[in-house]
Structure 1
Amino acid sequence: MADLAPAPRQALLRLGTLRQYGPHEALVLQGHLDDEVYLLAKGYVRVVGDTASGRTVLLALRTRGDLVGELAALDEGPRSASVLAATPVLARSISRYEFLRFLRAHPDAAEAVQRSVTRKLRMATRHRMETGSAPVLVRICGILEGLVATYGRRTDQGVQLDVPLSQLDLAMLAGASLPSVQRAAADLRRRGILSTGYLRLVVHDLDALRALAHAAGGEN
């Protein structure tokens, strides 16, 4: 939404039907052939995928102003991941026909959607390259750097991340064990880079976090 000019933004907000979802309720299910697009108006969702071994992997978090489910509308393929409400969610459910008609009528919006999809694919590629190879501390800092850039809120204490993100979620995003993530978080707290609360994170030293996110070597 932030990439859209006022006119296409208002046009997009008039599409579809507003729907409410409770925590853990599914907007999208992996493998299904439905093709609605969802514009998030309130709350957070988790994008998760099931691997061939049956393990569930957290792929991303999305919130107000984000589109989810657009790939199925664009390529008519099955859903590549599930989208589950992490909090109470309000979203506009937009049919594929409405969405594509909107993109044809608003070329600038089509370009914005293309940029959004490209960013998601770049992030997914970077995540896949780093997961399992970089040290856990580096992976955690890289994930936090990306989340802060997208969802961070400046406060007197630093950059606050008000997303429903637990240490188990971080472990799933990083492809690491929960004890390893707990040790990495404790290390960041000792350094004064990070403080944590219940589903709340504050980055006190963003430069130090970025430096660690782009470090090499170290222990997993």
Structure 2
Amino acid sequence: MERAVALRLDVADRIDHLPGQHYVVRLTAPDGYTAQRSYSVASAPDDPQVELFVERLEDGEVSTYLADVVEPGDVLEVRGPIGGWFVWDGSTPALLVGGGTGVVPFVAMLRAARDLDRTDLLRIAVSTRTLAGLPYADELVAAGALVITTREPRGIRPAGRLTDADLIPLWEPGQTAYVCGSTSFAEAASQLLIGMGVPAPAVRIERFGPSG
């Protein structure tokens, strides 16, 4: 994916994260001005390093620094892992529905499932403008994720949005549904799930977007 970087961090005295948690990266300028941004963890809990995926936003105070300036050996101020709701425990069936960079926490879940030899517990559906613009595209495709592209055809399927017809074959009773993406995507995807009959308490939502 262009305009993006995957940062691999050595975090001293770190606590093992749960798949779905995030870290806050805080930057402090020489004049004392601070800016911070939350980034989902892409690495599995057993990974000795913490992997964060950073999409470079043109007006992003933190993302431009992390993508353009940071070099190996630099020291960053981070806080985490954070979050207790949007996490997967590694033992229960889950349907993962992601849009764009919202797939990052699902990569952590997939990697954890692979380490546990429980990839059978996960079903993954992804919506992206183009395959080239999807973070971790090769890894997700190799894992059997359903990838829907909205700006280009994919195989025999024309470009189009994710629909309930895509999700119905992936849903099984007893799953927890995790939805992650932009506010508009999260709203649309969660409504699709509810409309399919997925119980509202079984739907967990995480919204991504630029900070103010």
Whether the TM-score (by the shorter chain) exceeds 0.5 is no
Q: Given the two structures, how large is their TM-score scaled by the length of structure 2? A: 0.31
Q: Given the two structures, how large is their TM-score scaled by the length of structure 1? A: 0.30
Determine which structure has more spread, i.e. the larger CA radius of gyration: 1
Hey, which of these two has a bigger chunk of helix by percent?
Answer: 1
